[in-house]
Every structure is written in C-alpha cells, then in structure tokens.
Amino acid sequence: CLGKFMMTQLLRTTTFLALVVATVATWPYSSADMSEMEGYFKDNVDYHGGGAVIASPSTSHPDYLYHWVRDGALSMHALRLIVSPGQYDTYMKHYVSWIHKAQNQADPNHINILGEPKYFVSGSSYGKVYNRPWGRPQNDSPALRALTLMYWAESLIAAGNKSYVTSTLWIPGKMPPNAGPIKADLEYVSHNWQSSCFDPWEESNGHHFFTKMVQRASMVVGARLGKVIGDPGAAAWYEKQANALKPAITEHWDSSTGVVRESLPGASGPYKYHRQDSAVILGSLYGYANDSFYGPLSTELWSSLVNLRTVFVNSFEINTKDTKAGYPGVLFGRYPNDTYNGYQTGQKGNPWILCTQAVAQFLYRDAVKVAMGSLPGSQLIGYYEQIVPASLHKLLKSGDAKKIASALIQTGDGYVDRVKYHISGAGNHMNEELNRDTGFEQGANDLTWSYATLFTAYNERETAVTAINGL
C-alpha cells in the first residue's frame, strides 16, 4: 500500500537530504495524505471492475462521468506507482479487456474508432463510443494508450511473461484487427500523425506539439518493442515515422517569442497569446522518449516555461495573494485568455491542479539530469533564476550539481505545496481547477488526471533525490 511505501521513502528522503544539502525540505504531503489521495484515485480506475477509467465521478455541472482515452491511459500508467506489480497486472488485464471492446466496434461518428476520445461508462450505452457532437479525432489518445500498454508489456517481458505480450497485446506478423491492441494503435498513429486533429483540451483543430510528442514517443517505444517481440518490419516502419516526426515537432519553436507553440498557425479554436500553452510542458513529460529531444535541460522548453509563469503570475489574483501570504510556487492554468471556468466557456479561466503539478515534475526531471552530472550552461541557469526563488540563487551559482539539483527540487516542492494549501481544507480531494481569485476548488471533483500528476511528480522527485545521493 502507498502508506507504507511513502513512509519508507519519506524517511529515506529526509535522512539523506539532511546529509547532503540541509536546505532541502521533505515532501509536502504526509504518508497519510498520500494514502487518502490514493484511495480517491483508485475509486476512479477499473470502474465497476470493467477496466474503464472515469475522468471524474461528477455527473452534472460538469458531466465528466466518461472514459476519456487520454485520461485513462495516463492514469493507468500512473497507477503502477502506487500498487504492487501483481495488483497492477490485474488492473491492466481489466484495462486491456476494456480496450478490446473500445477498439472493436462500429463508429457511429463515421471516423476511425481509434481516433475517438471518449466512451460511455453507464447505463445501456456502457462501453460504447460517445455519439454526440465533440472534437474528434484526438490523435494523441491512441499514442498514449499504446505507450501505457507498451511500458507494461516491457515489464512483463522483463518478468518472463513474453507469451502474454505476443498472444494478446501485440501479435507479431499480424495486422489489425488481428494484431492486438498495441499494434492497432501504433498502425493508426504511424499512418495519421501528419493529419490535423483536436488538441488535448479538445478545443483546437490543427497540428499540436503535445500530440506530436506523444506520437513520436509511441513510435520510438514501438520500434524498440517490435524488435524484442520479433516484428522487425513493423519496428523499422515505426522508427522511420519517429525520425520523420522530429522536424515536424521542431517547427513548433518560435525563436522570435521564445515560445514552443502548442498549435501551429492555422489551427482553429481560442486565441492564445503567442500560442503559449501548458500542454507544451505536459507534452514534454508524456512524450519524452529518453533521448535528448525536447527533454531535460531543453532551453526551448525552459524559455516557454518562463513565459508561461509570467502570464499566470499576472493573470491570477490568487497567485498574488498566496505570494504575499508566504506560500511558495505559482499556480498554472492552461493558457492565456482561457475562457473555460470548469463549468462552461465564455468565462474567465482558472489555475489547473494538473498543470501546476506538471510544472513540479518538470523541475524534478531537470534535477535528475543535473544531479547525474549534466551541469546546465549559463543560458539555462538564467532561465532557472527566473523560476527558482531568489533565496535559492546561491545554490544555482555554486557550480555544484547537487546544490543546483536541490534548488530545483525545493522549487518543485513549492508548486506542490501551493496546491496542497488550497485542497487541504477539502480533505485533499483534487478538483480540476482552483478559483483564480479565491483559490477555492471548482470544476469536476476528484479529477483522476489531477491525482495522476501528483503521483508521477512524486516519483520523479524520488528519482532526483536518489540521484543527489549518488545511488
């Protein structure tokens, strides 16, 4: 259970950080807090034992009681961090059963079923694709679903269970619909990544950084797994697509504004100043393929983060209030000029819990790289200084990798801590949003994706802490 795991990890973290850099604080949440949130999260996965993941239990104002492919994939990947391997295998087999039904049904919306974003999870329509007007296709969804399945498949192979992978998840030498759920999604991604689609916020139809990043990651991992299971032709094809995606992604960088644009010019949807969007940070996390491409220490990503921070510091009154009250961090929203308030559009947008916690993970990820010996150059230190509190700048200027990493960890903790301040009075339930003026929670309650970002941020932090300790 997470409680025992967290207690062990927290004691370990506190002990060695006291030895290495005394100024690094402990994780903001207690083990009891984390266990509590684990329970809320688990209530939303494997819904009624059928393998679906609900976005939120909210059924009205707003109605989020659906299985979104994106949210489901990200949440199932995060689930591995809080359950035992055996429990995770059980959850994942239920999830695979859900996917099989989702992928193999007629599409009432007259598109390829693999591009569908959401499904019903209640009543007579249980398991059927959502058949009302919506932003579709959403081509990040099959990429993320494939990634979650492939990461699990690799762990199964490492544990000696390759036969399940090649008989159920990806059948080598076969083609959809007889090749298993992983290859079905990979084939869709490999043949459709150049097409326009809707962004992760389901508002803009065009070409998006988030989507391309996770698509590329699915191709990279697909090529790797294809070689292992004996499907070399597919592996070569996916590797070719991964390479082709790199220049398409690089096109999103705008040196004139210092921003990685989430959507390229020509995309439909809401106006965003300089096309800034927190989806870029999310995409860099979920779409990182463990190479140097838009990963840790990316000056383009850090420039984008600095610009986003400026936007949200100036946009949300609650950030001003929290800073004056001495609370660290900054609450991040989705993008400038957001008009969705958690209930309806045409309003003023708010900070999002998942966006804020993603920034913490982004900081922890750089801390990992730095602690492992990759000292940042002067340009990157300059960006760090615009995010890291002034009280920690002496660590940034020390030239010591562990001290720089500790400054990044402490800064990330501040983002987590600011969210904690606003949810602790509500029993640590995590909604979708925090009111831009008061900080009170609003929007869908117990948003599964919100919890997932906390667990993945904590896991990244533990990796950073271990790296500082030289283990």
91-102 pLDDT, tens digit each: 999 999 999 999
187-241 pLDDT, tens digit each: 999 999 999 999 999 999 999 999 999 999 999 999 999 999 999 999 999 999 9
74-132 pLDDT, tens digit each: 999 999 999 999 999 999 999 999 999 999 999 999 999 999 999 999 999 999 999 99
Q: Where do runs of H (alpha helix) occur along 47-84?
A: 69-79
Residue 178: Cβ within 10 Å count: 9
What is the distance between the alpha carbons of residues 458 and 357, in angstroms, rounded to a whole number?
A: 10
DSSP character string of 121-149:
-SGGGTTSBP-SS-----THHHHHHHHHH
Joined together, the tokens standing for residue 366 give 């750089």
299-342 pLDDT, tens digit each: 999 999 999 999 999 999 999 999 999 999 999 999 999 999 99
Q: Which of 379, 413, 372, 417 is nearest to 396 (CA)?
A: 379
Task: Give the type of residue at 149.
Answer: L
CB 127 within 8 A of CB 119: yes
Pairing outcome for strands 197-198 and 253-254: unpaired
38-54 pLDDT, tens digit each: 999 999 999 999 999 99
What is the distance between the alpha carbons of residues 3 and 346, in angstroms, rounded to a whole number?
A: 42
What is the distance between the alpha carbons of residues 338 and 355, in angstroms, rounded to a whole number?
A: 13
Q: What is the mean pLDDT of residues 159-175?
A: 97
pLDDT of residue 470: 85
Q: Which of 114, 153, 120, 156 is nearest to 48 (CA)?
A: 120
Q: Which of 414, 372, 380 is nearest to 397 (CA)?
A: 380
Question: How far is residue 179 CA from its own chain's centroid?
Answer: 27
Q: Which residues pair with 120 in a beta bridge?
A: 66
Residue 18: Cβ within 10 Å count: 11
Annotated catalytic residues are 199, 202
Joined together, the tokens standing for residue 28 give 């903001």
Interhelix angle for 279-286 vs 209-229, to 10°? 10
Q: Write down how long the chain is.
A: 471
